[in-house]
Structure 1
Amino acid sequence: MIKTTATMLSAALVLGVATLPAAATNLDGPPPAYEGRATIWQGLYLGLSLGYGWGSSEHFYDRNNNHGTAQQSLTGGLGSVTMGYNYLISPSLLVGIEGDLGIMDLRADDKVIFDGHVWKSQFGALWGTVRGRAGFLWNQRTLLYATAGLAFMQLDEVGYGDAAGQTAWNTDFRTGWVVGAGVEYALSSTMTAKLEYLHMDFGSYSGLSENREPYSFDNSVDLIRAGLSFKF
């Protein structure tokens, strides 16, 4: 009985020693699920996107204590090139950084706001963002994510009065903040497609017209876009 038991224990010990290299290999490497997701998602990528934007421009003008306030809604198309990097911190969690540089053409009809004062607005042509991303992998191919960061936009706004010296300009690059969310799907190990919403807010800009009358502009843009990204 003792001899039989000793033989069984020896066999178990030999079997355990034989399986140690395989176990060590599994411990040294990532789990298969993590390895597959890293192949698809982790790394540097470039992308292209096209979409539609709608913006808001609020204008306030104070002419000899005669206040004028109005709002314009601008709409139009936009596109951008994108560059980013993703890193998997677990099989289901991803973080990254992404930047855009693009063109947009958001316009509105001229608007008479008060006392013959005509207001013209255009957002574009250049715009861009620098954002962080954090996402959850619903499965190996589907990423749900949120994003936030900094934004910039070129714009051209002008209010024309009906007398000399009553013109006010806001023609500049404006900076602000951006937040958004999206869903991205891996079409292959090197290509993904995404649908994304972003809200950009550029705050308020104040100044004086040619004859020193105060004015301010307040601008924001919302957009939805579809894009393709190609991983290196």
Structure 2
Amino acid sequence: MIKQVLHAGPVALLITGAALAADLPRRAAPPVFTAVPVFSWTGFYAGFNAGYGFDAGSGSNGSTTITTSAASGLIDNGGAPGIATFSNSRNNEGFTGGGQIGYNYQFTPGSGFVIGVEADAQYLGFGSGRNTATFTGTPNADITFVNPNGLSNLDYFGTVRGRLGYAFDRTLVYGTGGFAYGGGGGTSFGLPNSTSDSFRTGWAAGGGIEYALPADSFLNFFKSSAVTVKVEGLYVSLDRNGTNGAFAYSNSTGTVYNVSGTGYASTTGYTSRRSDDFAVVRAGLNYKFGTY
């Protein structure tokens, strides 16, 4: 009997221990935390922009006056010298729009310095109507007068710029500067074979602020963290080679009349070299390839 009790003791203890363990609270598995991705500006991007350009050059006002001798027959003024007057206003003001591509590199995700490079190409509607002259007398029907300053239209411009900024998570503040180019319209309005100087180069500098839209923003039509919007200001200066000073040509013979010629005209307000300076304020939207 005693042996039976001794043999039953361990079994009873195991049964009692199991019952007590069943009453203890169960240990739950530790929760699994998913790290929230930190936004980074690193990556290639492409987008479009639109804005407005403003004349920022000096000496854009005034006029050029060409006084032709009565004997030249260029302008008939009843035996008196004839006068042709051109406004030198560049009228560098108007709509601009285009596209851009670029690449950014952020040194530390979240907040930190960002470097990059961007290239853009823009339509530009500047300078229409600058070749209009007013006359004292009646110009010879065979003669076409052109502005000797060679003030050309700007139909387009573009830049290739470096960017340096600081990111506050999804907000990037930056400065930018680099190479600029532009052209269109020719150097001397209407003058045959005078468009060799229509393409000009120069520089551009400015700055802006860019913001990466949250994926749930109603403006974010891609519904990803790769859409950014920006507001940017640029100052652009395009230089030009010296103009040839031609102010008229014959429609029938092709003879070109130049301000340096003698015996047929005198000129005031003529500028043989000048630059096109303008400022652009624009807004843009980019899509960054790679969401983070």
TM-score range relative to shorter protein? 0.5 to 0.7
Residue segments in structure 2 that go unaligned for 5+ positions in a row: 1-34, 68-85, 137-144, 215-224, 247-255, 261-271
Does 1:191 pair with 2:222?
no
The whole-number CA distance in structure 2 between the counterparts of 1:127 and 1:102 is 5
Count of aligned pairs? 192
Q: Is the Cα contact below 8 Å between 1:70 and 1:113 reproduced in 2?
A: no
- Structure 2 residue aligned with 1:213, among 232, 250, 259? 259
Q: Is the Cα contact below 8 Å between 1:201 and 1:219 reproduced in 2?
A: yes
Map 1:94-173 → 2, pairs under 5 A: 94-110=114-130, 119=147, 121-124=152-155, 126-137=156-167, 139-156=168-185, 172-173=198-199
Percent of aligned pairs sharing the same letter: 29
Structure whose residues are more often helix by fraction: 1
Q: Is the Cα contact below 8 Å between 2:229 and 2:286 reproduced in 1?
A: yes
Q: Is the Cα contact below 8 Å between 1:155 and 1:174 reproduced in 2?
A: no
Structure whose residues are more often strand by fraction: 1
Q: Is the Cα contact below 8 Å between 1:123 and 1:154 reproduced in 2?
A: yes
Give the RMSD, CA atoms, in angstroms.
3.7
Please say which of residues 112-121 and 47-56 is displaced more in the overlay.
Answer: 112-121
Does 1:228 pair with 2:285?
yes
The whole-number CA distance in structure 1 between the counterparts of 2:258 and 2:87 is 18
Q: Is the Cα contact below 8 Å between 2:87 and 2:132 reproduced in 1?
A: no
- Structure 2 residue aligned with 1:83, among 82, 85, 101? 101
The whole-number CA distance in structure 2 between the counterparts of 1:114 and 1:63 is 11
The whole-number CA distance in structure 1 between the counterparts of 2:125 and 2:87 is 24
2:48 maps to which residue?
A: 48
Gap change, CA 1:220 and 1:171, over 3 Å in 2: same
Q: Is the Cα contact below 8 Å between 1:52 and 1:224 reproduced in 2?
A: yes
Residue 101 (structure 1) shift: 1.5
The whole-number CA distance in structure 1 between the counterparts of 2:203 and 2:47 is 22
Residue 62 (structure 1) shift: 9.4
The whole-number CA distance in structure 2 between the counterparts of 1:76 and 1:132 is 26
| 1:90-115 Cα shifts (integer Å, max 9, x gaps) | 34100000000221112354376897
Residue segments in structure 1 that go unaligned for 5+ positions in a row: 1-31
Please say which of residues 70-79 and 140-149 is displaced more in the overlay.
Answer: 70-79
Please say which of residues 205-214 and 99-108 is displaced more in the overlay.
Answer: 205-214
Q: Which has the larger radius of gyration?
A: 2
Task: Provide TM-score, normalisation by structure 1.
Answer: 0.68
